[in-house]
Chain A
């Protein structure tokens, strides 16, 4: 890595210093993965649904410009104000301008990974706007000054005692609280006052329907609705890939989304916003921010099918034991590792290597994205572009020399076997970067060439 920030192995190593916490993190996410399996198995047509969802999204990617124009026309006739943002900066400026136009300096926001991707909170913070995240998990990480570590479970890395301490410091609640029911109740009371007083609410978008110009927002907490229905101005931000063609396609996606995410049959609330309520203004921002470039990458465009369920994270053996923050990107885990290099290959060159390529992510993906194959393809692109880490490139160069020369290969092999037999501690230690990521094998007594020569002579 050429960048100065810590990369995935370094950040994962930090996360692994607290072994008890890593075990807890690992087991909790695996438990959610098991709930997903149980929910999926209740539907005999599960695989057919995944296939249909994948094909609907493929149709969208092939006709995205037409669907966007259709959606825009219908949304406009529904009374929604539609904005287009080429990148994160333009998105943030549009939101800021809406706030200025309404003479508002405070806003409530429900979960939107797009605004994390655009670093909206930081931008608005610099301009004196107070943004309150209202999803309980997002509120907790916001108070802690951290980004979410999981797209569905933002504070999955936090223990309840730590959350009690965060509330004590920032909300003035008594010290030493750790009962989840009580902590959630305190947050409810605190946020309720904000819902009742804020005039602008921003939400994300799960699905936008080209045919009708409506958009759907899914939550369990009801925070998107509390914000939007009490505010004078509702701003909805969406990536351009969130379009689906027809209302009836929601049946496919809503059946898959929450069963894949948490094992629930559906979220508590699946809200369909079609028109602003009387007296309300509704803005919708369509954001590109690299998506149209990604769409042109033949090997990687399928990743734009993602519906942000988080199933690939919950199943990933690397994510579960390295934590979401080790991916240093708004969207972590396997899907984040194939989306992030599109935005900034240099900064995220380490992420496609944060995988065992076991393929579990591809097996659980509700829209059948070939995640592990894309991770493998990104490794090739990154290495060709010269963005792989110096140690990785150097060792690959050495390997290339050894494998292309018969004598070096033979001689090096015998030295290596003897070396590992005589001085195992010099190989299997923490100073060897290869060992840090893998178990070293027991060296064989002889090479295959030696074995073959011996056994052919003495059959």
Chain B
């Protein structure tokens, strides 16, 4: 059984790192890279080798109504692949960038705790266990946001921490209500128990979780903390936060809870649709006005999360394909964009687009990969963003929601406009830059090239033939709805 190792490996690495590397960061880098690489291999095996199976692991051997169990199906494996890939590239990007911030081994230790928390949220089949892993990931993320030790980083981390404590309280009350109604904490048993309860109770539980995990997802009315936290963190951490944290803790849990536990109640799907549409438009409108490149990217995260929520709300198979596919694509291109921003910050010493200029000669890798990422996020073929947005728009039209399809198209055009601005001012502007103050080293280039290649490779996932083995099993798990609980209980 491989499931528990997704938590054991990063957790063991996190606590070994401070023991083995006292002054130098060399052993810490090696150990964290080795363990994330092991996670990539393991999750790749789980996703491609054991796809379509539902693995249930009983902690300490206790069966379901009593014990905690870990459930790993195609959707969990998909998320694990995503988390491990982005974590690996982020660690490859990190060493030079973190040295510049006066980094030490604690960074790598916290990073591995973050990975452990996210992996735990994804593989667990128990509501309270999910809460605990979520808090582990959030605490590590808070410490990492404040890692640079400058005033605005503490400010962002404080805001983020207050938001996290509010959402944790809401989720805890939600767990309390669910527990009092069903006398169990396993997701599968809660699903069976809530079927027999009154709809009012489902409304309570759903509402509390919607608010709690909505705060983590940063959909539009709950978004206030995101631009601060994601733009203040060190660049590799911004990539982790925007790329995978809001998905593993937000979108994944929302899909898992509202589809596989509550069985997709129409009222909440309607809310997802509206939240998604509002996030798409307002997020991108706020992004256009920004001059700080990382802040602009952070607002785009809100907008792109809107696409995923909108696709989730359609309640069709095609819509869910779009949501899952866009989740992966957004993780890839948004992480790449944050690496570009980090490389530009290292090389030029500024994050303000107006102070940048033409760097395409001096930084060919950064400007090349940022062009690819910008085209991806704006939805230009043949990059991955185009295909997932196309799927979402077609799904919206087919589901009889042409208005929301229109919103998605408009959002995409505005995204293109905003990234034309980034390219014009930041990377290919008229003002020539003579000299760089820092060097973009091999690790940074490797990470960026790797993700730029992934931008092209992941666009193949939608091709018939490949889709059947990759995205279709994931969507099948989600669209089983409460039937999933039956499968888990029979194991």
Q: Is chain B a partner of chain A in the same complex?
A: no
Residues of chain A whose beta carbon lies under 8 Å from any beta carbon of chain B: none
Residue numbers of B with Cβ under 8 A of A are: none
